[in-house]
Structure 1
Amino acid sequence: MTEVSWLQTIVLSIVQGLTEFLPVSSSGHLRIVSELFWGHDAGASFTAVVQLGTELAVLVFFAKDIWRIICGWFRGLAKKEERGLDYRMGWMVIAGTIPVVVLGVLFKDAIRSSARNLWITALVLVLFSFVFIAAERYGAKKRSFEDLTMKDALIMGLAQCLALIPGVSRSGGTISAGLFCGLEREVAARFSFLLAIPAVLGSGLFSLPDALAPTSGQAASGAQLIVGTIIAFVIGYASIAWLLKFVSHHSFSWFAAYRIPVGIIVMILLGAGILSPL
């Protein structure tokens, strides 16, 4: 069992912060960068723990919204007349989180092994890009936050499950699903971030013991995990602000224009033997 170096910790944490919220797949990029520069996978557990930094960025960035939803949810539980949008949003986040929790637990071993094959990552980077393009083309993009329904939450929650495969992208899957449901881009993006909070926080905390003493991948020290989490937080916070501004005026298809060449290049490197798939 090898150990994660400090250079590797810093680089991968920067990659995590830059890619977690963009629909390009942070887990896929971490997998590719690890293999390209260090010749081995840092591991799913290391990835899950460093993701805590970017999820902390979501908590801070959306602190007012999260607090309002939590308060509204508890008020709605106590008084029926208080059951407004925030109450419904609370239940939608809960319901939308259930699918990824169930599948994450059931397929834990596959997620940490066979699903991290770089051939799968590269292929998914290319193929799922066409989902972005289709979502932009056929999504009505007219529905606001007030129009969100439990059906939307469940559809986006099921789409979030696809992010268990490196290369799909959590935000890419959920935002695309939101666009197909007719949501405005910014609404789909904001709800995507809220939906990711319970799942990713739970995954990171659940993976903490394995990150320190993994059965696969590399071992990281407590100090490395803390530093990595802080770096991911700072860069992730900036990425959220940039993405929300970007989606207000630009199509998600721009990310497909990035993902497709990256996926093709990775497949070429794999075919040439420069990268190892496992």
Structure 2
Amino acid sequence: MTDVEAMSWLQVVVLAVLQGLTEFLPVSSSGHLAIASQLFFDDDAGASFTAVTQLGTEVAVLVYFARDIGRILTAWFGGLRDSARRTSDYWLGWWVIIGTLPICVLGLLFKDQIRGGVRNLWVVAIALIVFSAVIAAAEFYGRQNRTVEQLTWKDSVIVGLAQCLALVPGVSRSGATISAGLFLGQNREVAARFGFLLAIPAVLASGLFSLPDAFAPVTEGMSATGAQLIVSIVIAFVVGYAAVAWFLRFLVRHGMYWFVGYRVALGVVVLILLGTGVMAAQ
């Protein structure tokens, strides 16, 4: 048992806004929250607070993709009863279910490491820089000619495994899943939408599972009150909804190269701050 400090309202608001802004961009929201917590508040809010705040951004995805989700669910349940109704939306429902399994298994197996040592800012900075090369390669080599109707179970497994990389702060869930989709030949919009749909069950489960630890962390992080958690979720939802709407439009027209440059620059700055002792690694 370690001493656990209470979060301030300023910290809650700043981190919730940051969560909403960065959750859907390929820049790593968990990495940004870890960096901001150490740089401005001298303590890490913790993986549990991050997971709970992500509930707000995932509700934003649920609202933004409500029609798509409703169509997929209708097709999935209909296809279970009648094979003649097994459309591409029916199969997409299965691909989301299959693709969610890897991160659920690994998230449970490595939950202690995720909440502890892996949140070291040396790890975050290096992941920001190294994974930038993966994103750039995906943009450069991806054919980007496959549509949602052409997705298969192999896409589901590969993108699902790529999502597991997001367990390491600094990698980015959207960066990993979109990059995997591009390597598989999916066009940018399909890769982004499938990645966002894939994240919904995993993040919702992680947030609900982490609620008790966010109130009273045992080994890491700071404690938040119920009111603070509710406010953080609401802020993350509002900002996240605007961010996902903007990102999908931006991605189709411009790609991810802009984010590659930002990730490298941020990673280098963090390494300098850590190397000079301005910021603590953990």
Candidates 37, 41, 53, aligned match of 1:38:
41
User: How much does 1:8 deviate?
Assistant: 0.2
Cα distance in 2, alignment partners of residues 64 and 96 from structure 1: 21
Candidates 192, 197, 201, aligned match of 2:200:
197
Cα distance in 1, alignment partners of residues 230 and 123 from structure 2: 30
**Aligned ranges 1:205-216 → 2 under 5 Å:** 205-215=208-218, 216=220
SS at match of 1:168: coil
1:97 equivalent in structure 2:
100
1:247 equivalent in structure 2:
251
Asked if 1:110 corresponds to 2:102, the answer is no
**Aligned ranges 1:226-265 → 2 under 5 Å:** 226-265=230-269
Candidates 177, 182, 189, aligned match of 2:180:
177
Asked if 1:80 corresponds to 2:87, the answer is no
The two structures have a TM-score, normalised by structure 1, of: 0.99
Counterpart amino acid of residue 264 in structure 2: I
Asked if 1:11 corresponds to 2:14, the answer is yes
1:266 equivalent in structure 2:
270
Cα distance in 2, alignment partners of residues 253 and 177 from structure 1: 15
| Cα distance per residue 1:32-63 (max 9 Å; x no partner) | 00000011100000000000000000000000
User: How much does 1:2 deviate?
Assistant: 0.3
SS at match of 2:126: helix
User: How much does 1:86 deviate?
Assistant: 1.2
Counterpart amino acid of residue 76 in structure 1: G
User: How much does 1:246 deviate?
Assistant: 0.4
Gaps of 5+ in 2: none
RMSD: 0.5
Gaps of 5+ in 1: none
| Cα distance per residue 1:59-83 (max 9 Å; x no partner) | 0000010011111111111111111
Cα distance in 1, alignment partners of residues 118 and 102 from structure 2: 18
User: How much does 1:200 deviate?
Assistant: 0.2
Cα distance in 1, alignment partners of residues 93 and 251 from structure 2: 24
Cα distance in 2, alignment partners of residues 145 and 53 from structure 1: 27
Worse overlay, 7-16 or 72-81: 72-81
User: How much does 1:147 deviate?
Assistant: 1.0
Counterpart amino acid of residue 180 in structure 2: A
Identity %: 63
**Aligned ranges 1:105-144 → 2 under 5 Å:** 105-144=108-147
Cα distance in 2, alignment partners of residues 136 and 24 from structure 1: 15
Cα distance in 1, alignment partners of residues 68 and 153 from structure 2: 18
User: How much does 1:150 deviate?
Assistant: 1.1
Structure 1 consecutive aligned stretches of length 4 or more whose deviation exceeds 3 Å: none
